[in-house]
């Protein structure tokens, strides 16, 4: 079903900048869960022909194409080849909306307003990505009218769901802008004081060939500090300077350059799986880094209102799942750039606060902007 499309503005635009295609959102049936719930798929196409597929399970982005320097569109996000893995737990969190609390909370415990809470523990001794989190929930999708294709996803988490206090209404909107940016806005409101840390778990590989490791892609992070972790990947509380360590991405650097250096933190993460703190802590949409694949020329800039980012170099991908481009996904087939607040903040008073007070509005934005150079 064609839900919306915008006319090319032929009369307003000079010949050279005229849009090549009409933007559109098309809804289709995707699959049905074991419980009989129908999962829908929405295909968003922007005026340049960039395409993104989103399913209502987890708000998962299952594909996203971007042009290379010759204008060739290829899929730049990892995904499963069959619906069952999305429907049945999404073991790698491919493309998913993450919440209620992205990243780890130590032992799944925290205290809020003097009251102790116990969350679902699902990652060694810790709670990761909200337990049976928002990635494993069915969202309601509504296309949004505008110049570019946009999809609004809503989900209501129950009071007490996975141990968190407060009924939380969440809205995540994806816009595929006509300047080739995926713009994501996250909004939430709770009826009780709670903790919230929402993010997106797409695995990028700008080569468009998932058999090619992400190690040759160049990452830049405008972050002079990162959070060292303990053996269970919980931050120790220290903010460590990246200067002189393998964690220095202040100047664009190939991800593989230092990834195998003998370093206790790299050993703990089996590679990079850490939170970097942006130099600019402003709660405004600012450029915080980029990813570049030289051979294709694909360049992705990351902008966010968030103070930090979890850069995860795909260390737990174990070679068991089929790849969209053939073979199996391997360690380092893709990487995540999860903009967020710091992990375990509810237990670490020195970290920026992640409490959302009853009736207050949670609102953050992150943009992944694609171009070539």
Give the interface with ligand GLA as residue ranges (CB under 6 A): 92-93, 103, 128, 233, 273, 310, 312, 316, 336, 338
What is the distance between the alpha carbons of residues 184 and 102, in angstroms, rounded to a whole number?
Answer: 15
Return the number of the residue (273 or 344) whose C-beta is nearest ligand GLA.
Answer: 273
Return the number of the residue (152 or 324) whose C-beta is nearest ligand GLA.
Answer: 324
Q: What is the DSSP string of 174-215?
A: EEE-TTSEEEEEEEEEESS-EE-B-EE-PEE-TTS-TTS-GG
The active-site residue, picked from 161, 212, 220, 338, is 338
C-alpha to C-alpha distances, 31 to 54, 89, 133, 220, 292, nearest whole angstrom: 13, 14, 20, 38, 34
Instruction: Record the tokens describing residue 263, joined without a space.
Output: 């370093």
Residue 338 bears catalytic tag = yes
Q: How far is the CB of 218 from ligand GLA (least distance, A)?
A: 20
Return the number of the residue (189 or 344) whose C-beta is nearest ligand GLA.
Answer: 344
What is the distance between the alpha carbons of residues 40 and 62, in angstroms, rounded to a whole number?
Answer: 12
Return the number of the residue (56 or 310) whose C-beta is nearest ligand GLA.
Answer: 310
Neighbours of 299 (CB within 10 A): 19
Q: How far is the CB of 45 from ligand GLA (least distance, A)?
A: 29
Return the number of the residue (47 or 98) whose C-beta is nearest ligand GLA.
Answer: 98
What is the distance between the alpha carbons of residues 185 and 365, in angstroms, rounded to a whole number?
Answer: 4
Q: How far is the CB of 233 from ligand GLA (least distance, A)?
A: 6
Rg of the chain over Cα atoms, rounded to whole angstroms, equals 20
Nearest to 63 by CA among 91, 95, 27, 33: 95
Point out the residue whose Cβ comes nearest to ligand GLA: 312
Strand 355-356 to 335-340 pairing: unpaired
Q: How far is the CB of 370 from ligand GLA (least distance, A)?
A: 22
The active-site residue, picked from 129, 161, 201, 341, is 201
DSSP letter, residue 275: E
Q: How far is the CB of 198 from ligand GLA (least distance, A)?
A: 14
Strand 253-254 to 240-241 pairing: unpaired
Residues that are catalytic = 201, 338
């Amino acid at each position: 079903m064609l839900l919306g499309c915008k006319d090319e503005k032929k009369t307003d635009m000079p010949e050279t900048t005229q849009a090549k295609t009409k933007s559109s959102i098309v809804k289709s049936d995707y699959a049905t869960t074991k419980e009989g719930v129908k999962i829908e798929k929405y295909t968003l196409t922007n005026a340049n022909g960039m395409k993104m597929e989103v399913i209502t399970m987890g708000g998962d982005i299952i594909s996203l194409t971007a042009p290379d320097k010759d204008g060739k569109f290829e899929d730049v996000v990892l995904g499963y080849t069959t619906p069952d893995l999305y429907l049945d737990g999404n073991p790698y969190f491919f493309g998913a909306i993450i919440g209620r609390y992205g990243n780890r909370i130590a032992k799944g415990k925290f205290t809020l307003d003097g009251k102790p809470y116990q969350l679902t523990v699902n990652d060694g001794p810790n709670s990761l990505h909200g337990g049976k989190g928002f990635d494993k929930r069915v969202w309601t999708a509504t296309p949004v009218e505008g110049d570019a294709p946009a999809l609004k996803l809503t989900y209501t988490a129950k009071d007490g769901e996975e141990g968190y206090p407060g009924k939380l209404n969440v809205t995540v909107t994806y816009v595929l802008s006509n300047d080739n940016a995926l713009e994501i806005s996250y909004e939430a409101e709770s009826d009780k004081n709670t903790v919230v840390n929402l993010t997106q778990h797409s695995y990028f590989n700008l080569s468009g060939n998932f058999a090619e490791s992400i190690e040759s892609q160049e990452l830049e992070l405008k972050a002079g500090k990162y959070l060292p972790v303990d053996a269970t990947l919980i931050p120790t509380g220290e903010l460590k300077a990246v200067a002189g360590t393998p964690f220095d991405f202040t100047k664009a650097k190939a991800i593989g350059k230092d990834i195998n250096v003998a370093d206790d933190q790299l050993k703990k993460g089996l590679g990079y799986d850490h939170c970097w703190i942006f130099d600019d802590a402003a709660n405004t949409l600012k450029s915080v880094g980029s990813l570049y694949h030289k051979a294709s020329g694909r360049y992705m800039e990351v902008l966010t209102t968030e103070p930090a980012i979890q850069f995860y170099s795909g260390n737990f991908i174990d070679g068991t799942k089929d790849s969209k481009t053939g073979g199996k996904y391997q360690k380092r087939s893709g990487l995540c750039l999860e903009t967020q607040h710091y992990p375990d903040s509810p237990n670490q008073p020195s970290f920026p606060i992640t409490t959302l007070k009853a009736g207050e509005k949670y609102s953050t934005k992150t943009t992944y902007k694609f171009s070539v150079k």
